[in-house]
Amino acid sequence: MNYCSRCGTPLVYRTPSGDNRPRFVCETCRTVHYENPKLVVGSIPEWQGRILLCRRSIDPRSGKWTLPAGFLENGETVSQGAAREALEEAGARLTDLVPFAMFNIPYVNQVHLMFRAKLEDPHVWAGPESLEVGFFEEEGIPWNELAFPVVKETLKLFFLDRDRGFRCFHLGDIPPISLDEF
């Protein structure tokens, strides 16, 4: 962040009085530009036991498979955001969204909230951020071609719960790891 979004003055990175960490501060209009973690909302869309995945057409991780997910927008609830992302990325109409897992990813300053969800119908198509979309049985999941560690962790927990007949909410942390290694 270089300039004040309110008045255009170049920003200074310093600890404001009464605070305990440095922030981008505007010395002209005195605005403190706080930066806080972003919330990503996504889903595990299911149709007759198979899971909908999208192959990314955009960086980072273009060409890799992911669950539909993206940043929550202002003015929307977390379930609305997850449903919107599924519609945008895969043309998928979700129903029966149930919170499934929340992951802290402190090294990228994100929190991800993932929902279980059913599809209203199996008609899906690749949105602008997807090369293709498809339904996968557990055995067919492209484990070595997944886009992000959080996607792998979500799918592992989902199938583990399904095998054991569990239905509980998960809270986890994603450790820093190179995307080429996980």
CA distance readout (Å), 77 to 36, 84, 88, 113 = 18, 10, 16, 12
Choices 20-28, 126-134, 135-143, 166-174; region in contact with Zn ion by CB under 5 A: 20-28
Q: Give the C-alpha distances (Å, rounded to integers) separating 75 from 79, 86, 95, 135.
A: 12, 18, 20, 31
- Which member of 4, 53, 82, 119 binds Zn ion (CB under 5 A)? 4
- Site for Zn ion, residues 25 to 64, rule: CB under 5 A: 26, 28-29, 31
Q: Is residue 11 near Zn ion by the rule CB under 5 A? A: no
**Interaction with Zn ion in 72-101: which residues (CB under 5 A)?**
none
First to last CA, the chain: 31
The least distance separating Zn ion from the CB of residue 15, rounded to whole angstroms, comes to 18
- Binding status of residue 7 toward Zn ion by CB under 5 A: yes
List, in order, residues 6 or more apart from 144 with CB less than 8 Å away. none
Spacing of C-alpha 110 from chain mean position: 8
If the CB atoms of residues 27 and 145 are measured against Zn ion, the closer one turns out to be 27
Closest CB to Zn ion among residues 7, 108: 7
- The residues of the shown chain that bind Zn ion, judged by CB under 5 A, are 4, 6-7, 9, 26, 28-29, 31
